[in-house]
Amino acid sequence: MRFEFSRHHDGAAASSFDLGDLRLVLDSADVSSASHRPSRSMMIYLAIVHLVDGLSELAEGHSSRFRFVGPDSSFSLDFRRKNDVLTVTAGNALVGAVPMSDALTALLAGTTTFLTDPDNALAASESVVEDLEAAVRRLRGVVGSSR
């Protein structure tokens, strides 16, 4: 499983509400918000917070289902946890199933790759920074406890 995030930018500094895309690769399935008409791009920083919080809730056992809808987008994924297996669907199509710990590790890797890219660095004054940092801290804790 692999989560990939990208930001649309024209060389300008990153902003909390920048649009971008999410790509999920699982086995032979490849689902992305990119290249749709009309666009399914989303506010990427808010999307990361929403996705991390939702999957963390599943991992912590607070719920068994999570529907991710990209902020300001019609792109969605449905996640369902049963025991330690996470099943992902897009629309009515099964994307695949993986152990919950693998999904969390993949999400942390994808998030870290995106956020450590200098082109995606947010200024400390940006409105989403605190929520983003809190979500990543939570995810690191959940990943650490799922090993």
Mean pLDDT of 114-134: 96
pLDDT digits 0-9 by tens, 33-90: 998 888 899 999 999 999 999 999 999 999 999 999 999 999 999 999 999 999 999 9
pLDDT at 147 > cutoff 70: no
Cα–Cα dist 58/52, whole Å: 10
pLDDT at 9 > cutoff 90: no
Look up the pTM and report it. 0.95
Cα–Cα dist 7/118, whole Å: 12
